[in-house]
């Protein structure tokens, strides 16, 4: 059994369903860990994982994810959840209004750490574009304004968890983790 | 002698000039400290101060500041420097385009800490509005789009360091610190 340190039930649910396919049991663990300010998701996730193990003494995974919009120099990036809570999807759409270049990436880092301080990170990236308007109400965060290249015409907000898990950044990082963890 | 931990020469310069008036000598100290992600400036500054003393073993001050825009639920707040580096002043103006409510605050927290782990914080706030366009090239960061209530018609970017130090959030926090430090 491993513990996914998150307060986001949607993230946990995506992870639980995907890891079940690898026979990896995962439980949600809500503990306060400190997140550092850094432009590098990997560093944030690594430090968070070490902090979580220091506090829980359990084998854990943490995830840090962000939406990186090319025309905005990578904004909102590692601060996506704060930006979502303040200016939201509408704020992003307003900032991109009239802009042709709407390329974006969702990136996810899964960091694993256990009591022996083995730390390992796994990255997943999905390429896409920012839509002109909000579409769909599934997923969470900026999902309804992100259209992945591999599923043109549909945003992450219009996909079921199963469909999103076929191509999302988080699913990609989780799959890399699962493949490694099976032989760990 | 105290040490101001910052990589921002403008911040240091404002502090040096102001603290000279209190006969407090201050040197600029460039060391990497980790900054946590938190919506609360005071927590960020406090943790930063403890971290800086652990690394330097010197009596230090750190500053954390942010621009809090009312109509944007406090955005960009504690992440102002990241937001400045990515979407910049123009991004903020675009987001506020056509909005009547342009109220904003600049907030500054000065955190002092010494080898004996005495930690003390001081807050300064200045009320103002976000202009419709960039005005002036002085100051730094979002200064050229912030017009303080006490100096209508001029942005922080149009003031000299001396003028800005009469009414800025940072100057206010530094003055509180200096008054306390003199009797410390």
Mean pLDDT in order along chain A per 10 residues (184 residues): 93 94 95 84 93 94 96 96 95 95 97 94 98 94 96 94 92 96 90
pLDDT at B88: 96
Cα A77 to Cα A115: distance, rounded to the nearest angstrom: 30
Helix (H, G, I), strand (E, B) or coil at B117: coil
pLDDT higher than threshold 90 for residue B38: no
Q: Tell how far CA B76 is from the center of its chain.
A: 13
Q: In the beta sheet, which residues pair with residue B123?
A: B109
Query: B32, B74, B86: best mutation site toward chain A, by most A Cβ within 10 Å?
Result: B86
Cα A77 to Cα A105: distance, rounded to the nearest angstrom: 9
The mean per-residue pLDDT over the stretch B130-140 comes to: 94
Q: In the beta sheet, which residues pair with residue A61?
A: A4, A112
Annotate A61-93 with DSSP letters as a single string.
EEEEEEEEEGGGTTTEETTHHHHHHHTHHHHHH
Active-site annotation holder among A39, A51, A64, A143: A64
B87: nearest CB among A36, A39, A75: A75
pLDDT-wise least confident of A7-16, B32-41, B151-160: B32-41
Helix (H, G, I), strand (E, B) or coil at B90: helix
**CB contact (8 A) between residue A37 and residue B83:** no
- For residue B13, which phi and psi values (nearest 5 degrees)? -65, -45
Name the closest residue on chain B to residue A48, using Cα atoms.
Answer: B36
Among left, alpha and beta (phi > 0; psi -120 to 50; other), residue B142 is: alpha
Q: What is the extent of the structural domain holding B41?
A: 2-182
DSSP percent split of chain B into helix, strand, coil, nearest 5: 40, 25, 35
Name the closest residue on chain A to residue B88, using Cα atoms.
Answer: A72
DSSP percent split of chain A into helix, strand, coil, nearest 5: 40, 25, 35
Two tokens, residue B168: 């800025």
pLDDT digits (tens, 9 = 90+) for B47-84: 999 999 999 999 999 999 999 999 999 999 999 999 99
- Look at residues A166, A175, A173, A145 and name the one whose alpha carbon lies nearest to residue A157: A145
Task: Report the gap between the CA of B52 and the closest CA in chain A (Å).
Answer: 15
Is cis: bond before B55, omega within 30 of 0? no
User: Which residue spans within B2-160 are E strands per DSSP?
Assistant: 2-5, 26-29, 36-37, 60-69, 76-77, 103-113, 119-130, 146-148
Q: pLDDT band at B35, cuts 50/70/90?
A: confident
The mean per-residue pLDDT over the stretch B31-42 comes to: 86
Task: Report the gap between the CA of B178 and the closest CA in chain A (Å).
Answer: 28
Q: Please tell me the total count of domains within chain A.
A: 1
pLDDT at A117: 87
Element (H, E) at B153: none
- For residue A91, which phi and psi values (nearest 5 degrees)? -65, -40
If 0-12 CB within 10 Å is exposed, 13-18 middle and 19+ buried, where does residue A104 land? buried
pLDDT at A43: 92
* HSE of B176, CA atoms in CB hemisphere, 13 A: 16
pLDDT at A138: 87
Q: How many CB atoms lie within 10 A of CB A148?
A: 21
pLDDT at B6: 94
Query: Hunting for tokens 């997923």 — which residue is that?
Result: A139
Q: Tell how far CA B33 is from the center of its chain.
A: 17
Chain B residues in contact with A79 by the CB 8 A cut-off are 37, 79, 82-83
pLDDT digits (tens, 9 = 90+) for B98-109: 999 999 999 999
Cα A36 to Cα A39: distance, rounded to the nearest angstrom: 10
Q: pLDDT band at B34, cuts 50/70/90?
A: confident
pLDDT digits (tens, 9 = 90+) for A104-139: 999 999 999 999 989 999 999 999 999 999 999 988
- Look at residues A105, A41, A42 and name the one whose alpha carbon lies nearest to residue A69: A105
Domain holding B37: CATH number?
3.90.950.10
Predicted TM-score of the model (pTM): 0.86
Query: Do the Cβ atoms of A120 and A133 come closer than 8 Å?
Result: no
Query: A86, A92, A130: best mutation site toward chain B, by most B Cβ within 10 Å?
Result: A86
Annotate A15-26 with DSSP letters as a single string.
HHHHHHTTT--E
If 0-12 CB within 10 Å is exposed, 13-18 middle and 19+ buried, where does residue B55 land? middle
If 0-12 CB within 10 Å is exposed, 13-18 middle and 19+ buried, where does residue B36 land? middle
Q: Quick check: ipTM above 0.85? A: no
Helices and strands per DSSP (H, E), number in chain A:
6, 8
């Amino acid at each position: 059994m491993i513990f996914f340190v998150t307060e986001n039930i949607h993230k946990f649910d995506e992870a639980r369903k995907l890891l079940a396919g690898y026979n990896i049991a995962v439980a949600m663990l809500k503990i306060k860990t400190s997140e550092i300010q850094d432009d590098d998701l990997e560093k944030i996730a690594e430090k968070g994982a070490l902090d979580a193990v220091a506090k829980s003494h359990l084998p854990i995974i943490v995830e840090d994810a962000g939406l990186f919009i090319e025309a905005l120099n990578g904004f909102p990036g590692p601060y996506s959840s704060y930006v979502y809570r303040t200016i939201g999807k509408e704020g992003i759409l307003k900032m991109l209004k009239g802009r042709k270049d709407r390329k974006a990436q969702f990136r996810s880092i899964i960091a694993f750490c256990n009591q022996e301080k083995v730390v390992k990170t796994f990255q997943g990236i999905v390429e896409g574009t920012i839509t002109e308007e909000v579409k769909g109400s599934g997923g969470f965060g900026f999902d309804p304004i992100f259209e992945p290249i591999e599923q043109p015409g549909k945003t992450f907000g219009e996909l079921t968890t199963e469909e999103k898990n076929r191509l999302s950044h988080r699913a990609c990082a989780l799959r890399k983790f699962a493949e490694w963890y099976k032989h760990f």
